[in-house]
């Protein structure tokens, strides 16, 4: 028997949605053809997508009932995969888990070995979940900037949604790599927190949130955007000639109400960041760089730990904008 958060909906009726802490049996786990590893999940986390699923605010779950949790870290219990053995430590991010396949907000899970990364020796399972998909996405964004030739000497980098999970880790990574970072946030009271992560300038997100001109004063050598909509459009309009903007979030919206002007008049590149279905070599590269470039001490500044039974309430706070940084869920009591 094991504990899990369980999401249920009767006959496709959203009004029947329920989320609860349930006691399940291993026989309840998906069949082995949906995952060739049975794992002990020690820690998980709450990402924005998990918040949407747990509060039923977005069409994340596509199969019912569902155990949410797109991230997990722990130990392999049983393996039918050639690359994994019982006792191996793993990190899991994405791959449709918590959407179409039962996820990691549970003491047990069944996962696909092809989607797992070995836990880097630099991190404990708790630290890996303090990073989670948010930090892994932030690292993918930083790698995209580097792959497009952006360096600390290129100029100032803007990070939007800076007090969120992606933003917080992006600020910490870029600062440690030597970049001058401007952190845009609606939580101006968190300025000291952002400066402690390495931000040199704090910007009120209101400066980016409303419709603006197609081309604005050139400022940013690069941008890591986790917000979307007008914020992303304004960031593009302010990016310098030849600059790069990565897009990985939609906190403000999925729309892109802008102009082609930054692309055809300034040669700006818009690089999409997908963390869910990224191939294993790209995942491994990101985690290798996280192990090298992320200061574990900074993780503690941005991390709050909650228990599995309290994760539901914390998800509501996350969706209400009452959380900063990262939320780690300790699975075992």
If asked whether residues 43 and 102 sit together in one domain, one would say yes
* Token reading at 322: 């009452």
Q: Are 134 and 166 in contact (CB under 8 A)?
A: yes
Pairing of strands 71-79, 89-93: antiparallel
The residue whose two tokens read 């996962």 is: 111
Residue 203: its pLDDT value, please? 97
Q: Which pLDDT score is estimated for 32?
A: 59
CATH code (residue 41): 3.90.180.10
Q: Does residue 235 sit in the same domain as residue 259?
A: yes
In a domain, 289, yes or no: no
Question: Would strands 157-159 and 220-225 be described as parallel, antiparallel, or unpaired?
Answer: parallel
180 and 223 share a domain? yes
Please report which helix (H) or strand (E) contains residue 317, including its range. helix 311-319
Residue 285 falls inside a structural domain: no
Asked if residue 21 belongs to a domain, the reply is yes
Residue keyed to tokens 């968190």: 190
- Residue 290 CB burial class (10 angstroms; 0-12, 13-18, ≥19): buried
201 and 264, same domain (yes or no): yes
User: Residue 28: what pLDDT?
Assistant: 80
pLDDT per position in the chain (333 positions), as tens?
899 999 998 877 777 899 999 999 888 877 756 779 999 999 999 988 999 999 999 888 998 999 999 999 999 999 999 999 999 999 999 998 999 999 999 999 999 999 899 999 999 999 999 999 999 999 999 999 999 999 999 999 999 999 998 999 999 999 999 999 999 999 888 999 999 999 999 999 999 999 999 999 999 999 999 999 999 999 999 999 999 999 999 989 999 999 999 999 999 999 999 999 999 999 999 999 999 999 988 888 889 999 999 999 999 999 998 888 899 999 986
Q: Is residue 125 part of a domain?
A: no
Q: Hey, what are 205's tokens?
A: 């997100």
One domain for residues 249 and 138 = yes
Domain count for the chain: 2
The answer to whether residues 250 and 170 belong to one domain is yes
| Contact assessment for residue 160 and residue 184, using Cβ atoms and an 8 Å cutoff | yes
Which residues constitute the domain of residue 34?
A: 2-119+302-330
Please tell me the distance from the alpha carbon of residue 49 to that of residue 299, in angstroms, as a whole number. Answer: 21
Cβ distance 235 to 208 under 8 Å?
yes
Inside any domain, residue 286: no
Regarding whether 266 and 158 lie in a shared domain, the answer is yes
Q: What angle do CA 194, 196, 200 make, to 5 degrees?
A: 65
Report the residue count for the chain.
333
280 lies in some domain: no
168 and 207 both lie in a single domain: yes
173 assigned to some structural domain: yes
Spatial distance between the Cα atoms of 45 and 43, rounded to a whole number of angstroms = 7
What single string gives the DSSP state of each residue in 16-59?
G-EEEEEEE-GGGSPPGGG-SEEEEEEEEE--HHHHHHHHT-SS
Q: What is the pTM of this model?
A: 0.92
What's the pLDDT at 1? 87
6 and 73 both lie in a single domain: yes
CATH of the domain at 221: 3.40.50.720
Strand pairing report for 71-79 and 108-111: unpaired
Q: What does the pLDDT read at residue 285?
A: 96
**pLDDT (0 to 100) of residue 144:** 98
Q: CA end-to-end span of the chain, whole Å?
A: 14
Q: Are 18 and 148 part of one and the same domain?
A: no
Query: What is the predicted pLDDT for the residue at 23?
Result: 92
| Separation of alpha carbons 57 and 52, rounded Å | 5
Instruction: Check whether residue 186 and residue 227 sit in a common domain.
Output: yes
Residues 148 and 259 in one domain: yes
């Amino acid at each position: 028997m094991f504990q899990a958060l369980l999401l249920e909906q009767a006959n496709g009726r959203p009004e029947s949605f329920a989320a609860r802490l349930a006691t399940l049996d291993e026989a309840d786990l998906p069949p082995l053809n949906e995952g060739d590893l049975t794992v002990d999940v020690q820690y998980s986390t709450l990402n924005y997508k998990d918040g949407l699923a747990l509060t039923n605010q977005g069409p994340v779950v596509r199969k019912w009932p569902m155990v949410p949790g797109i991230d997990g870290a722990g130990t392999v219990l049983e393996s039918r995969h050639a690359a994994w053995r019982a006792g191996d430590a793993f990190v899991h991010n994405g791959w449709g888990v918590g959407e179409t396949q039962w996820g990691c907000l549970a003491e047990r899970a069944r996962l696909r070995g092809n989607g797992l990364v070995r836990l880097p020796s630099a991190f404990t399972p708790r630290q890996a979940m303090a990073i989670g998909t948010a930090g892994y996405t932030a690292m993918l964004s930083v790698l995209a900037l580097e792959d497009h030739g952006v360096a600390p000497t290129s100029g100032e980098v803007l990070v939007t949604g800076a007090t969120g999970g992606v933003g917080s880790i992006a600020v910490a990574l870029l600062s440690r790599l030597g970049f001058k970072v401007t952190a845009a946030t609606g939580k101006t009271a968190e300025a000291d927190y952002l400066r402690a992560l390495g931000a040199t300038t704090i910007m009120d997100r209101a400066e980016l949130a409303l419709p603006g001109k197609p081309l604005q004063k050139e400022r940013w050598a690069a941008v890591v955007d986790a917000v979307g909509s007008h914020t992303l459009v304004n960031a593009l309009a302010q990016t310098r000639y030849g600059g790069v903007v990565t897009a990985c979030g939609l906190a403000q919206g999925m729309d892109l109400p802008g102009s082609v002007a930054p692309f055809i008049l300034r040669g700006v590149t818009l690089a999409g960041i997908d963390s869910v279905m990224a191939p294993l070599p790209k995942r491994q590269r990101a985690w290798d760089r996280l192990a090298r470039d992320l200061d574990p001490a900074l993780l503690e500044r941005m991390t709050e730990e909650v228990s599995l039974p309290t994760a539901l309430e914390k998800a509501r706070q996350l969706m209400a904008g009452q959380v900063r940084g990262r939320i780690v869920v300790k699975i075992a009591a």
